[in-house]
Amino acid sequence: MLSFAPALRLAPLLAGLLLVCLPLGSLAQGEPQTRLARIKVGAGMHLIDTQLAQTPEQRQIGLMWRKDLPQNEGMLFIFEQPSVQCFWMRNTLTALTAAFVDEDGTIVNLEDMKPQTDDSHCSAKPVRFVLEMNQGWFKKRGIQAGFKLTGPTFKP
């Protein structure tokens, strides 16, 4: 006769290991991602603390479910190669502006986006990066298309 007693004693340990081993991107529905890698991006005399959305799952979640975004913080979406990028605001609770950014850090175009909409906002040409900031952040600082951002991800 087989006994499952030893296996049953290990069940809580195995369940705990499973929770520890889940990727950080595997978040419960409705939970913001706040533990992404970060870098500093320069916008003239302004320094932006950016979270990096680098994987397809991180990019898909983006800033969803965040109740607020600190003033000089944003999210930089990094794509493997330049292409036309389109963003929407499903489950995103704050108004944002998306800066569509070329490989060298030049802002191609800016798009204001309303919270909790599926309206599509696209880059004017293929880009490798999209920087999302609180709506009005770029305008308040006089930053517009043609402005060059600096940081370790942009090619000189």
Spatial contact of 87 and 113, defined as CB atoms under 8 Å apart: yes
Query: Which 3 state secondary structure label does DSSP give 46?
Result: strand
Q: pLDDT tens digit string along 53-67?
A: 999 999 999 999 999
The answer to whether the Cα torsion of 49, 139, 68, 79 is positive or negative is: negative
- Does the domain at 27-140 match CATH 3.30.300.30? Answer given as no
In the block, residue with structure tokens 């419960």? 28
pLDDT tens digits for 15-54? 333 333 333 444 446 888 989 999 999 999 999 999 999 9
Give me the sign of the Cα torsion angle 88, 89, 95, 101: negative
Given a cut of 50, is residue 68 above it in pLDDT? yes
Domain boundaries, the chain: 27-140
Predicted TM-score (pTM) of the model is 0.81
Q: Which of 106, 96, 81 is nearest to 138 (CA)?
A: 96
For residue 135 the two structure tokens come to: 């709506």
